[in-house]
């Protein structure tokens, strides 16, 4: 069964304290792994797409990496404005449907 699991569920960091979020997946024939950021009361905001093991993408303080079984979202020297829920998702059929993980709620304190 296709599945996406994120850990930890919640993460509290001090400003400047780097860390990583994990997204483990089991899906046959990976056609991409997506990372989104969601602020309270808003729709998810697209961050990255990764397609193959070894691929890395960066945006400001965020870097996403992909292996054959999991993806990491590394946050370097986070700021309070990085506080949000981070979601990962993978497509599970040709129609573009996504399976979402439960998300990691990140809180960065000044």
Site residues (vs another protein, CB under 8 A):
31-32, 34, 36, 41-46, 49, 87, 89, 91, 95-98, 100-103
Q: Shortest gap between Cβ of 93 and another protein (angstroms)? A: 10
Of 42 and 68, nearer to another protein (C-beta) is 42
Residue 46's DSSP bridge partners are: 36
Going by C-alpha positions, the residue among 35, 30, 19 that lies closest to residue 86 is 35
Q: Is the bond into 17 cis (omega within 30 degrees of 0)?
A: no
Of 15 and 60, nearer to another protein (C-beta) is 60
Q: Shortest gap between Cβ of 43 and another protein (angstroms)? A: 4
Of 17 and 99, nearer to another protein (C-beta) is 99
Tokens of 107: 């809180």
SS3 81: helix
């Amino acid at each position: 069964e296709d599945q996406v699991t994120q850990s930890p569920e919640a993460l509290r960091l001090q400003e400047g304290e780097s860390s990583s979020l994990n997204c483990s997946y089991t899906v046959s024939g990976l056609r991409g792994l997506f990372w989104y950021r969601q602020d309270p009361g808003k729709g998810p905001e697209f961050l990255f797409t990764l397609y193959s093991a070894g691929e890395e993408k960066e945006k400001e303080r965020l870097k996403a990496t992909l292996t054959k079984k999991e993806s990491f979202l590394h946050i370097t020297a986070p700021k309070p404005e990085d506080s949000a829920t981070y979601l990962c998702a993978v497509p599970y059929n040709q129609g573009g449907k996504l399976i979402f993980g439960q998300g990691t709620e990140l809180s960065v304190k000044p």
